[in-house]
């Protein structure tokens, strides 16, 4: 399944504990998530999961495509990856028209293929936790 098919990525989860990045978005808006990625290189796997979701797969990108079969139907057609090369150590993605059902802590795991001078290929993994809070829809401008 989405969560633990990659031994190596599951292994890293044990010792990566960072404070989640908090994002607050109004219901109906798009949420932009930024995942850390290692170095300069081609992004080979992006795996976005959510803590209180079953199945927990929000987005799985591998073999140059988004694997919709693994994706929780709640997120089908609502996700967009913006870049497949990490140039600034980031991979950006968008969740379209969020609702309160999308609340939760997301974990974004990115695998990057690092170019090196030797012929040996290297892959690097980064994990980012993102706490998405969806507020009520914007009907009136907030009291300012």
Ligand X SMILES: *[C@@H]1O[C@H](CO)[C@@H](O)[C@H](O)[C@H]1NC(C)=O
Binding site for ligand X (CB under 6 A): 25, 29-32, 34, 82-83, 88, 90, 92, 94
Cα separation of 33 and 23, whole Å? Answer: 8
- Strand extents, DSSP E, 76-135: 79-81, 85-86, 90-95, 104-114, 122-135
Cα separation of 133 and 144, whole Å? Answer: 21
Q: How far is the CB of 29 from ligand X (least distance, A)?
A: 5
Smaller CB distance to ligand X: residue 2 or 33? 33
Q: How far is the CB of 112 from ligand X (least distance, A)?
A: 12
Smaller CB distance to ligand X: residue 11 or 115? 115
Q: How far is the CB of 5 from ligand X (least distance, A)?
A: 26
Smaller CB distance to ligand X: residue 29 or 103? 29
Burial of residue 72 (CB within 10 Å: 0-12, 13-18, 19+) is middle
Q: How far is the CB of 108 from ligand X (least distance, A)?
A: 12
Closest CA to 50 of 10, 114, 2, 119: 2
Smaller CB distance to ligand X: residue 5 or 97? 97
């Amino acid at each position: 399944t989405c969560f633990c098919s990659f031994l190596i990525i599951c292994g890293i989860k044990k010792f990566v504990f960072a404070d989640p990045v908090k994002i607050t978005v109004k219901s109906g808006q798009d949420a932009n998530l930024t995942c850390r990625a290692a170095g300069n290189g081609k992004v080979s796997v992006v795996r976005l999961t959510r803590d209180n979701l079953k199945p927990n797969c929000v987005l799985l990108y591998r073999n140059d495509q988004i694997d919709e079969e693994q994706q929780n139907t709640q997120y089908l057609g609502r996700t967009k990856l913006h870049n497949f090369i990490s140039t600034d150590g980031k991979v950006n993605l968008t969740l379209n028209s969020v609702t309160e059902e999308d609340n939760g802590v997301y974990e974004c795991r990115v695998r990057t293929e690092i170019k090196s001078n030797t012929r040996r290929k290297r892959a690097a993994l980064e994990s980012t936790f993102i706490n998405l809070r969806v507020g009520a829809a914007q009907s009136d401008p907030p009291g300012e």
